[in-house]
Amino acid sequence: MRTLTKVVQGMPATDGAGVKLKRIIGTAALDMVDPFLMLDEFGSDDPDSWIAGFPDHPHRGFETVTVLLEGRVRHADSVGNSGVIEAGDVQWMTAGKGIIHSEMPERADGRLRGFQLWVNLPAHLKMVAPRYQDTRAARIPTVTQTGVTLRVITGEVFGVQGPVESLIPVRLLQARFEPHAALDLPVPADHNCFAYVQEGAVSSDGRELSTGQLGVYGGRGNVQLRATDRGAGILICNAMPINEPVARYGPFVMNTRDELARAFDEYQRGVLTT
């Protein structure tokens, strides 16, 4: 069984044009879980806290993953892509060599909830061509163990393969636990792994993880989770670590400070995406 090596609480933060959110990875308490660079949870019944959205901004060197639970978000970018994701949909964007995009929430029953995860890329993939994968909720399969339903976004679990293609080995699962249900989840020995409790609470490795807490797992073996009498909703992520130097600042994630400086220079000169 894997053991919990760290438990952290999400911290209030603001991003974009003033969107209020909770940052769980990418803080002083938890800088990253290689290759996961950032995890944000956003959500509110108050449109004033999120309607300003994320106007045009650049990225280079990594991938962003948006899992929308409620609401509607319209996106557009500098290479001609545009579209709308709605409740249950997932967008996996490869920034690669460079992209400028916007993510603007639209009013849908006054609610917006979801996650955004940043996944690093190794040096040999940082300058690949940008791409979007907008995956509708109906395409994302589920698999059920006793009292636990797993939504498989990417990677494989219990013989079910998620539809999203990742450039490095990543598995991203949404798990819904009935009260007292347990999960014994196999994780590849060479992967890093974390579990984030979106709602409810679970016990794991003799500790309780409650709403808003993330547990980082060390060692090898399976991850074992058991819901309390409240049940639980959990985001579970594992991936092969890249084990390379990380140089990041704002919207760019590279391997060296010189590469960061080049990215800023190209953005200022208007050639980031060419």
Closest to 193 in 3D by CA, of 11, 25, 10: 25
All domains in the chain, ordered by first residue: 3-268 (2.60.120.10)
pTM (2 d.p.): 0.94
273 close to 78: Cβ distance less than 8 angstroms = yes
228 close to 180: Cβ distance less than 8 angstroms = yes
pLDDT on residue 19: 72
Give the C-alpha separation, 113 to 99, whole Å: 25
Phi-psi region for residue 205, left (φ > 0), alpha (ψ -120 to 50) or beta?
A: left
Give the C-alpha separation, 60 to 58, whole Å: 7
pLDDT on residue 163: 98
Give the C-alpha separation, 24 to 267, whole Å: 28
Give the C-alpha separation, 211 to 148, whole Å: 17
Closest to 204 in 3D by CA, of 231, 226, 189, 177: 226
126 close to 103: Cβ distance less than 8 angstroms = no
CB atoms within 10 A of CB 104: 18
DSSP collapsed to 3 states, 31-50: CCECCEEEEEEEEECCHHHC
Tens of pLDDT, residue by residue, the chain (274 residues) = 999 999 999 998 877 656 778 999 999 999 999 999 999 998 766 666 666 677 788 999 999 999 999 888 888 878 777 888 899 999 999 999 999 988 887 765 667 889 999 999 999 999 999 998 999 999 999 999 999 999 999 999 999 999 999 999 999 999 999 999 999 999 999 999 999 999 999 999 999 999 999 999 999 999 999 999 999 999 999 999 999 999 999 899 999 999 999 999 998 998 887 6
